[in-house]
Amino acid sequence: MKEYNELFIGGQWEKPSGRGIIKVVSPSTEEVIGSVPEGTTEDIDKAVLAARNAFDNGRWPRMEPAERAEILKKVALGIQSDAQGFANEIANEVGSPVSWGMAAQVLAPVFIFNYYAGLASTYSFEELRQGVLGQAVVMKDPVGVVGAIAPWNVPLFIAAAKIAPALLAGCTVVYKPAPETPLCNNRLAELFESAGLPEGVLSMIPAGREVGEHLVTHPGVDKISFTGSTVAGKKIGALCAERMKRFSLELGGKSAAIVLDDVNIDEVLQALVLAGTMNNGQACVAQTRILVPDSRYKEITDALVERVSSMTVGDPADSATEVGPLIAERQRDRVESYISIGKEEGAKVATGGGRPEKLEHGWYVEPTVFVDTDNSMRVAREEIFGPVLAVMPYVDVDEAIEIANDSPYGLAGTVWSSDPQRALDVAKKVRTGSTTINNFLLDFAVPFGGYRESGMGREFGPEGLELFLETKAINLPHGFTPSIA
C-alpha cells in the first residue's frame, strides 16, 4: 500500500483542500494498492496561481534552455535508476505487462526526457532573419502556463511527452493525471522535487473530469495540452477556442495494418500481433484493423488466429505475460459489449470472445480476433480499447488504402511487405499522422499526432516543443545588427 496524504502543488507537498480520497485498485488483483488525495477546483486554483507566479515573475522562463535541460536530464536519470520500481508500479496500477511496459512505459519516458534535454542545444530559439524591408529577430517565447490532462493507459509516457517539452520551452505546468493512475505520476513528481525544480513550476493534481474542466477554463492557464478520448477532446477544444486559449489534442484511433500480398507472414507475425494487442489493446495507436489480401486471406488469417490464441494471458508482473487485464470493470464491460456487437453485426469470432479460465480475479478478457469483418461494422469503426482485432479482406492495394482511409480516425498505421519501397508508396497514400513499415514504432524525434478525429497538433520531435512556444518577430531599424544568442 502506498498512501499519499498530500498533493504536489507548485513543487511542494501540501495538504489538499478537500477530503476526497482516490483509492487505486489493481486491475489484476482487484485490491486497493494505494491512495492519494483527490484534487479539487481549489487545489487547481492554488496550482495555477503558483504556476502563474513562477511564469510571470520567476526565473524558470528566463533561464537558458540548457539550464532547464539539466533538470530534465536529472529526471531521466531518476526514472532510469528506478526503472524496475516504475515498471512494477505501472504493472500494478495499469495492468501493463512488464514485458512491454519496461520498454514502452518506462524506458521510453527516459528517452523522451533526454531527447528534449538534447534539443536545448540544437533547437534555434532565436534567429536573425533577412526580411523584405529589413532585418528581424524571430524568436520563440514560451506559451505560458500549461494545463496538461492525461488518460490512464500510458501515464508516465504521456507525462514525459507533455512535461519535457513544456518545461524545456520555459513554460510552467499544472498536470492533471487520470484518477486511475496517480501513483506513478506522484513518483515522477518526487523526482522533480529532488531534481531541484524551482518553486511553482510543476503541480500534479489527480482528479476527475469536472476538476479537469476547471483547469481547461481557468483564466490563469494559457494553453491546454490534452490526451484522451475524442469525445472529451472535442469538448475541451471548444472550451479553449471560446477563450482563445492555445490547445493541442492527442485523441483516439482505429489504426489499420495493411498486410501486402508479398509479406513474409512468419517474419512479421509477432510484431503484427503485438502492434494490435500492446498494453492489452489499450493503446491509441493499436493496429486493430488488419487488412489482408484476398489472395492470401486464409493463410494469413489462420496464422494470426493461431498466434493470438496462444498468447499468454495473466499477471502483468510476470515477464512471460503478453496480455494483462483491462484497467477497470467498466472497461471490461465496454470491451465485452463490443464483442457482442461484433457478433450481432455478423463478424465471426475466430478466437477468444470470452474471459480466460483460471483467472479468478482481475478484469481480463481473452485476446479476440474477429474475421470476415467489413469496414462498415462498428467493431471496425469504433475504438474498442481492448485486445480485439478485426480482420478484413481486400481485393487490391487501392482498395486496402481506401479502407484504411475510411475511418473517422487517422492516428497511426502500419504496412507489412517484403518490399519496403512498395510499402512506402502505400504508406504515403494512407491519411494518418504516422505510419511504420514492418513494425510499429513511435520515434521521439519524429512528429506524432492525428488526422481527422484523432487530434490536432503533433507531439515529439521539434514539433512537440513548438506546441509550447509562441513565435515573436521584432523588426529592426536599418543599419543595426544585434548579437544573437
Of 24 and 149, which CB lies nearer to ligand NAD in the complex structure? 149
Residue from the set 9, 232, 257, 392 that interacts with ligand NAD by CB under 6 A: 232
Instruction: Kindly state the number of chain residues that form the binding site for ligand NAD, as judged by CB under 6 A.
Output: 29
Least distance CB 74 / ligand NAD (angstroms)? 26
H helix or E strand, kind and range, residue 203: strand 202-204
Residue from the set 65, 212, 281, 464 that interacts with ligand NAD by CB under 6 A: 212
Of 58 and 253, which CB lies nearer to ligand NAD in the complex structure? 253
Cα gap 122→209, rounded to integer Å:
38
Burial category of 111 from C-beta neighbours within 10 Å (exposed 0-12, middle 13-18, buried 19 and up) = middle
Cα gap 451→460, rounded to integer Å:
16
Residue with cell 504508406: 427
Least distance CB 224 / ligand NAD (angstroms)? 8
| CB neighbours of residue 300 within 10 Å | 22
Helix 182-195 crosses helix 83-93 at what angle (to 10 degrees)? 150
Residue from the set 92, 114, 153, 248 that interacts with ligand NAD by CB under 6 A: 153
Enumerate residues 166-195 that contact ligand NAD by CB under 6 A: 176, 178
- From the list 152-160, 312-320, 343-351, 414-422, the region that binds ligand NAD by CB under 6 A is 152-160
Strand blocks (E) in 271-411: 289-293, 348-351, 368-371, 388-394, 409-410
CA dist list (Å): 343 to 255, 304, 329, 369, 379: 21, 19, 21, 11, 9
Residue with cell 490512464: 152
Least distance CB 297 / ligand NAD (angstroms)? 28
Indicate whether 204 belongs to the interface with ligand NAD (CB under 6 A): no
Least distance CB 112 / ligand NAD (angstroms)? 13
Query: Residue of minimal CB distance from ligand NAD?
Result: 212
Indicate whether 252 belongs to the interface with ligand NAD (CB under 6 A): yes
Of 407, 410, 406, 398, whose CA–CA distance to 451 is shortest? 410
Question: Would you list the DSSP string of 177-239?
Answer: --TT-HHHHHHHHHHHHHHTPPTTSEEE----HHHHHHHHH-TT--EEEEES-HHHHHHHHHH
Least distance CB 49 / ligand NAD (angstroms)? 19
Indicate whether 433 belongs to the interface with ligand NAD (CB under 6 A): no
Q: Which residues contact 190 (CB under 8 A, 6 or more apart)?
A: none
Give φ, ψ of 205 to 5 degrees: -120, 90
- Strand 12-14 versus strand 223-227 pairing type: unpaired
Of 200, 142, 146, 153, whose CA–CA distance to 176 is shortest? 146
Strand order through the sheet with 469-475? 126-130, 135-142, 469-475
Least distance CB 188 / ligand NAD (angstroms)? 15
Least distance CB 450 / ligand NAD (angstroms)? 6
Q: Which is the catalytic residue, given 250, 322, 383, 459?
A: 250
Enumerate residues 408-427 that contact ligand NAD by CB under 6 A: 411
Residue with cell 488469417: 301
- From the list 5-13, 143-151, 343-351, 392-400, the region that binds ligand NAD by CB under 6 A is 143-151
Is 250 one of the catalytic residues? yes
In the three-class reduction of DSSP (H, G, I as helix; E, B as strand; rest coil), residue 7 is classed as strand
Enumerate residues 263-292 that contact ligand NAD by CB under 6 A: 284
- From the list 183-191, 247-255, 313-321, 332-340, the region that binds ligand NAD by CB under 6 A is 247-255
Indicate whether 347 belongs to the interface with ligand NAD (CB under 6 A): no
Of 228 and 342, which CB lies nearer to ligand NAD in the complex structure? 228
Residue from the set 24, 150, 169, 388 that interacts with ligand NAD by CB under 6 A: 150
Q: Which residues are catalytic?
A: 250, 284
Binding site for ligand NAD (CB under 6 A): 149-154, 176, 178, 208-209, 212-213, 216, 227-229, 232, 235-236, 250-253, 284, 383, 385, 411, 450, 455
